[in-house]
Structure 1
Amino acid sequence: MAAPAPLLVVLLGLTLLPLLFFPGAAGEVGVCWGTNGDNLPSPAAVVQLLKRQSITMVRIYDTDRGVIRALANTGIKLMVSLPNEQLASAASSPPFARQWVQDNVAAFYPTTRINGVAVGNEVFDMAKGLTQQLVPAMRNVQAALAGLGLDGAIKVSTPVAFTALKKSWPPSEGAFQDDIAQSVMRPMVAFLRQTGSPFMINVYPFRAYLDDPQHISVAYWTFQPNDGVVDPDTGRRYYNLYDAQMDAVRYAIRSVSPGSVRASVTTQDAGGNDDDILLTSSEIGCSDWKIPKKHCKNFANGLIAHTLGASSARAKHTSGLLDSVGAGAGATSAYIFALFNEDKKSDDSERNFGLFYPDMQPVYDVDFVHGSGPVTPAPAPASSWCVANAGVGDARLQAALDYACGHGADCGAIQPGARCFSPDTKVAHATYAMNDYYQRHGRASQACDFNGAGSIVYQQPSICDPSQAASWCVARAEVGDARLQAALDWACGHGADCSAIQRGGRCFDPDTKVSHASYAFNDYYQRNGRASQACNFNGAGSIVYQAPKIGNCQL
């Protein structure tokens, strides 16, 4: 994390950025999972906390094996980091970058859903001597991913310190520091645009408030109602400091983009699309060391609601000036810093950024599904669903399906052999994924856009419910007849009705251990409510989601 910036550097700003694939979709909010403490819970316990909180993405500052393995098979997206200490090696040696990617990314993907590599952290601020090596290191890591066919799923970027801007107010004059603007930022922006990777920026609005509480109101930086602040050059009114910060970043990006026009933000509000780089807040948070917890709570929940799209961009013209009401970060993803209070950090402020104490009790209540506060939209109807629009065609449905599954929807149930794989059609699978994404994003209307491929309905459609989908328990032939016989005897002796597999019974044939065990296992499994443990049988049973048929006997 960078040191506090002067007031002129803190008043940064943002326009509405179009999403890389679906401009109507909302952003996501994750957490920075630091481990700089000696009293933190185990990775396995932390993963359960992430699940309970519906946190769908995580950033870590290294490649901790315990953390990466704990996130396996969870669907939680993970950004790993190549630390500053290894930056020079990655920049100068493509073989080093290839080995690093093989050992720290490819070895765990896709079991662990790694979706990004952060190359270095705040290099311009924390490791200035490595500044010129940053982009070469990013290119070598990208090339290593491409060599393994992973560059489509895993993106390469670098978290940039907020102080990389020399000017941030008014936002429309946002610009990078002279010593990095052309030599580093220009090629970096070109690299990010070429690879479809996000521009990552670490921003801390609360620091601006601490620097100048007389001129920056609590309401302005915590997403509470306020009169806003106007950019005198564009007439754009900002109702929260976060939008102002991010807007200056975007203008700074435009200022170094080859061939780009440094258009005003109103171009975007009018439907323009001159930028194709997605902004991500790679760190954003609030330390409650000098800030009341209630302010940090309002900020965190306001940020979540804002980012998830609860605050849609609405524009109106007043006296010839664009007055953007609630515009901002709906298309910008963010990682809240940090998951825990970490007792080995350098000072009291750094030790008090956590959303949770080390015992996993909340420092204050945060709702990762909806957020809260004035930016929360009007409540959605009691029940609504998102369904696929078959009329857009399979290609657009597949794109929407891929986007939903790649941005937080749990698509495990529609994989081959899973509970909701059937019917195996684009419409059915897209509807399942889009609705899961929609529900996870609080049923915000823009969370069912998918570039026109989704529609909201208010009568329950026929969408597979994994908890209700039919399933069966069958025997695993590979364990051998002895284990199958033992499991068969156990099932028949503990409640399964095995009369049909007795000699002369309707399911006696085929007279094999696998057939008889499958019948007994499934009868026991169904009688015990299809609980997963009711199909264990010491490893001899397996759950399937398509009705098995053994001989003439349908289970």
Structure 2
Amino acid sequence: MALIFLCFFCFIAVSSGAVSNRIGINYGHLGSNLPSPAQSIQLLQNMSIGRVKLYDADHETLNLLSGKDIEVAITVANDEISGIAANQHLADQWVYEHVLAHYPGTKIRFVLVGNEVFTSINTPEDMQLARDVLPAIRRIKNTIKAQGIRNIKIGTPLAMDMMETTFPPSNGSFKPEIRELMVPLLRYLNGTRSYFFVDVYPYVTWFESQVWNQTAINLGFALLRTGNENYTDPQSGLVYTNLLDQMLDSVVYAMTKLGYDDVLLAISETGWPHEGESGANRENAAEYNNNLIRKLAAVPSIGTPARPGEVIPTFIYALYDENQKYGPNTERHWGLINPDGSPVYEVNITAGIPHMRD
């Protein structure tokens, strides 16, 4: 089997940079038995991965990525946001240390400010952090722009729990308590042609539909199984063949209701667990990720029913299982690669990967 679809190498030019439909992957470190950064970067190359998303801006990893044909997303930690939001000098320092020290040798293309910051806004401190995201984005963007860099996009990954309603997609709306935050964020992303990054997990939605004993979502629909079933949105008339498109378009409609109907969309995390609760097994994980790659790496781009033909940059979660993560057992079993470098299961970007050697 080929290591990767040939279309992963196709690029679609936009503005001063290029938006590619090469599949990316999330590379986290919350495991006690993970390969070294050097081994991990070699694996990414062997897999012909187009992008990698880091949950930090680790210098060793960024140095190892120098000269590699891999686009990189780096992350400003949540606990750094408020300081950067309040102080341009701190923003300058962060950019000089984590971006300029490695760019352009390392193909940094995205700076993500925080991770799922809008998920918890139950305390005044949480709400203040959420309010600080956009000022921090602005300051980092100002520093990068002042250096004459035009091909790095700035954004923040948000989880689907930002949504009040997702079904049918045309009813999509953000939770009332975050709308005041969402409007200026969308205005800024639209004005800078940056991406609205969303962590979207059909597995979680499918699993919850079983647990809550409501009208259960069809498993094949959640797995993006072709020809499985169709759903027609009664208001838009758009026809949906999978749950991922429904979830993404609910975000599109939510943005539209706030006056922003053309903000670019990107998937910062998606995937399927291979062990844990109901439906989490290797067969389903392989099917979901293979179907995901087939859909989002297609040329010409497929997009979604509400955004036909749009390229949606996508990062699969995750490179490795991470046994130090909290939560249910499923939380620790999303990886594509074992600690020895062999595939957990075969998916188009892992086929033929040999065992790691020291």
> How would you bin the TM-score normalised by the shorter chain?
0.7 to 0.9
Shift of 1:368: 3.2
Does residue 349 in structure 1 map to residue 346 in structure 2?
no
- Counterparts in 2 of 1:313 and 1:122: CA distance versus 1, 3 Å: closer
Distance 1:146 1:331 in 2: 24
Does residue 287 in structure 1 map to residue 273 in structure 2?
yes
Match of residue 93 from structure 1: 87
Determine if contact 1:283/1:336 at 8 Å carries over to the other structure: yes
Q: Looking at CA atoms only, which structure, 1 or 2, has the larger radius of gyration?
A: 1
Q: Secondary structure at the match of 2:207?
A: helix
Distance 2:63 2:168 in 1: 45
Shift of 1:153: 1.5
Once the two structures are superposed, residues 156-206 of structure 1 have per-residue CA deviations (whole angstroms, 9 ceiling, x without a partner) of 10001111111111111211111111x211111111111121110011001
Distance 1:104 1:141 in 2: 11
- Counterparts in 2 of 1:72 and 1:38: CA distance versus 1, 3 Å: same
Match of residue 211 from structure 1: 208
Match of residue 73 from structure 2: 79
2:165 corresponds, among 164, 167, 171, to 167
Match of residue 146 from structure 1: 145
Distance 2:134 2:119 in 1: 15
Runs of 4+ in 1 over 3 A off after TM superposition: 18-22, 310-315, 326-330
Q: Secondary structure at the match of 1:343?
A: coil
1:33 corresponds, among 27, 31, 37, to 27
Determine if contact 2:41/2:64 at 8 Å carries over to the other structure: yes
Determine if contact 1:170/1:231 at 8 Å carries over to the other structure: yes
Q: TM-score, normalised by structure 2?
A: 0.85
Higher relative contact order (CA 8 A, sep 6+): 2
Distance 2:216 2:331 in 1: 25
2:298 corresponds, among 280, 284, 309, to 309
Percent of aligned pairs with the same amino acid = 32
Q: TM-score, normalised by structure 1?
A: 0.55
Shift of 1:27: 2.7
Shift of 1:28: 3.1
Shift of 1:236: 1.5
Q: Secondary structure at the match of 2:111?
A: strand
Determine if contact 1:27/1:330 at 8 Å carries over to the other structure: no
Task: For 1:12-91, list aligned pairs within 5 A.
Answer: 27-91=21-85
Determine if contact 1:285/1:300 at 8 Å carries over to the other structure: yes
**Which residue identity is paired with 1:239?**
T
1:362 corresponds, among 331, 337, 343, to 343
**Which residue identity is paired with 1:307?**
L
Determine if contact 2:301/2:311 at 8 Å carries over to the other structure: no
Once the two structures are superposed, residues 47-92 of structure 1 have per-residue CA deviations (whole angstroms, 9 ceiling, x without a partner) of 1111111101000011111111111111211110001000100111
Distance 2:183 2:161 in 1: 17
Distance 1:356 1:369 in 2: 8
Determine if contact 1:220/1:240 at 8 Å carries over to the other structure: yes
Distance 1:327 1:148 in 2: 33
Determine if contact 2:343/2:350 at 8 Å carries over to the other structure: no
Distance 1:79 1:42 in 2: 19
Shift of 1:238: 0.6
- Counterparts in 2 of 1:238 and 1:190: CA distance versus 1, 3 Å: same
Task: For 1:427-506, list aligned pairs within 5 A.
Answer: none
Shift of 1:26: 6.4
Distance 2:88 2:307 in 1: 42
Match of residue 9 from structure 2: none
**Which residue identity is paired with 1:75?**
D
1:200 corresponds, among 197, 203, 218, to 197
Once the two structures are superposed, residues 418-477 of structure 1 have per-residue CA deviations (whole angstroms, 9 ceiling, x without a partner) of xxxxxxxxxxxxxxxxxxxxxxxxxxxxxxxxxxxxxxxxxxxxxxxxxxxxxxxxxxxx
Match of residue 235 from structure 1: 237
Distance 2:217 2:308 in 1: 18
Q: Secondary structure at the match of 1:349?
A: helix
Q: Secondary structure at the match of 1:125?
A: coil
Determine if contact 1:307/1:329 at 8 Å carries over to the other structure: no
- Counterparts in 2 of 1:313 and 1:117: CA distance versus 1, 3 Å: closer
Shift of 1:228: 1.4
Q: Secondary structure at the match of 1:78?
A: strand
Aligned length: 325
Distance 1:125 1:252 in 2: 17
Distance 1:143 1:314 in 2: 31
Determine if contact 1:124/1:164 at 8 Å carries over to the other structure: yes
Q: Secondary structure at the match of 1:226?
A: coil
Does residue 335 in structure 1 map to residue 321 in structure 2?
no
- Flag structure 1 segments of 5+ consecutive residues without an equivalent: 1-17, 261-273, 316-323, 371-555
Determine if contact 2:296/2:302 at 8 Å carries over to the other structure: no
Once the two structures are superposed, residues 78-120 of structure 1 have per-residue CA deviations (whole angstroms, 9 ceiling, x without a partner) of 1100010001001111110010000111111011111110000
Shift of 1:218: 1.4
Distance 2:303 2:192 in 1: 31
Alignment RMSD, CA only?
2.5
Distance 1:256 1:118 in 2: 23
Distance 2:264 2:141 in 1: 18
Determine if contact 1:311/1:330 at 8 Å carries over to the other structure: no
Distance 1:250 1:280 in 2: 11
Task: For 1:518-537, list aligned pairs within 5 A.
Answer: none
Match of residue 8 from structure 2: none
Q: Secondary structure at the match of 1:254?
A: helix
